[in-house]
Amino acid sequence: MRADVDNLGRLISRGIHRGEYTFSRMASVSRLLNLFFKLGVNGLCRGRIEGGEPVGVVKRGGERNLAVVYSGGDDLFIAGAYDEVLELAFDISRAFRRFVGGNPDVTLSGGIV
């Protein structure tokens, strides 16, 4: 599975008002996204963070049969059993939606091959 934040550059350049556009705000957005992708995604993979209501593809309980190849910045690359990856995709989507406070302008796109 590969996924990343949609239009991050445009989101940062247009999402922060001109008078409020500072280096520290940009750095905060970057740090928080990195926190989600490094700690949050890994926590979801290990079963330590709940992603939401189970979809029912995989039985819950403990670590998943996955390998996090890369997760940081604003993107991720995860390999694993198809059913585990599918369940994780739903959990990441729900967790990210909560992480951004339900803001409809901040979204993820991804694919599973």
Q: Which domains are seen in the chain, by residue range?
A: 2-111 (3.30.70)
Place of tokens 């996955």: 66
Question: Could you give the CA distance from residue 24 to residue 34 in angstroms, rounded to a whole number?
Answer: 15
Question: Could you give the CA distance from residue 60 to residue 85 in angstroms, rounded to a whole number?
Answer: 13
What pLDDT sits at residue 110?
Answer: 95
What pLDDT sits at residue 59?
Answer: 57
What pLDDT sits at residue 103?
Answer: 87
Residue stretches of the chain with pLDDT short of 50: 55
Question: Could you give the CA distance from residue 73 to residue 48 in angstroms, rounded to a whole number?
Answer: 21
pLDDT digits (tens, 9 = 90+) for 28-45: 888 999 999 998 898 888
What pLDDT sits at residue 51?
Answer: 55
Cβ atoms 62, 45 nearer than 8 A: no
pTM over the 0.85 mark:
no
